[in-house]
Amino acid sequence: MYDAITRNRRKSWLLVATAFVLLMLVAEAFNLYIGGGPVGLLVAVLIAGWGTVMSYYYSDKLALAITGAREVTQEQAPQLYNVVSEMAIAAGLPMPRVMVVNDPAPNAFATGRDPEHAVVAVTTGLLERLNRDELQGVIGHEMSHVLNRDTLVTTLVVAVCGAIVVLCDLFWRFSFFGSRRSRSKGGDNGGAAAILLVLGIVALVLAPLGAALIQAAVSRKREELADSTAVSLTRNPAGLRSALEKLLEDTGIVRKTSRATAHLWIESPLDREHKGSWLNNMFDTHPPLRQRIEMLAAMESAGP
């Protein structure tokens, strides 16, 4: 199991590095088109870096605002609070803030830029459907995200991929207006402008696609790692396995969510209507629930 955890961590950081390289390539392509030179590239990188930093510090507030999560005390949700406390102790982490989302669909997520600012949230539907062992498995999964610094990894990749999309959009706009100017002037650079326009279109189409694939791949690796780590915290793979089986059976969809925060949840909260298509599966932020259940069942059969 620990070999799998190490491999997943290495692959996740490799994907983050790939996203940064892709961002630099898009920034340089944009810079070459506008003729900004080294200063233009520096400005593009600084803007992308500023967006990443802002996303790092405020992504948790965005997630909580989108989901409508509210903080609860031990008196209001004693079992949930006690289970979170147990898992925090098992992971050697500070007690996170505990929140509940008023939604009948069973789901949960963790956010926060570091363990000292962590939040664990569950839906009311999850609390109604799971027994204590199953709830412990889910909370163990969410505390594993905090322990493994997953919020840092996913926030970085989401911010970088978002910057790629913005730069590609700007690239297209500059290419469109630049090509019009070139045609109106009728200068000798028309051929070069046409080539740059083609490159801009290629960047617009392929770079956001690549960014989306990287974002989905990072999230999938993080979920597999969190499942494995949760078992090491709870010493009970059956609890999480049973919880995921209930999530698989349930067809409810979290009402307050978005693609920007879908990767945070233990199961994708987005509409399952188009699940099963190989093209849609490429962009899934989570591994298939059946695959995760099978992995946990194998760990359960293997024993301690």
Region 80-100 average pLDDT: 96
**71 assigned to active site:** no
Helix axes 190-234, 78-91, angle to 10 degrees: 100
> What's residue 129's pLDDT?
96
Higher-pLDDT residue of 105, 181: 105
- Contact yes or no for 98/120 (Cβ under 8 A): yes
Taking only the tens place, the pLDDT of each residue in 234-243 is 999 999 999 9
Beta bridge partners of 35: none
**Structure tokens, 118:** 């962590």
> What's residue 237's pLDDT?
95
Q: Secondary structure of 181-200 in the HEC alphabet?
A: HHHHHCCCCHHHHHHHHHHH
Q: Does the pLDDT of residue 90 top 90, yes or no?
A: yes
What pTM value is reported for the model? 0.77
Higher-pLDDT residue of 209, 126: 126
> What's residue 241's pLDDT?
97
Helix axes 237-249, 289-302, angle to 10 degrees: 160
Instruction: Determine which one of 86, 116, 128, 142 is catalytic.
Output: 142
Region 158-179 average pLDDT: 69
Higher-pLDDT residue of 138, 197: 138
- Please report, for the chain, the start and end positions of each structural domain, with discontinuous segments joined by +: 2-302
- CA nearest to 113, candidates 44, 68, 164, 64: 64
Q: Does the pLDDT of residue 183 top 60, yes or no?
A: no
Measured in residues, the chain has a length of 304
- Contact yes or no for 286/223 (Cβ under 8 A): yes
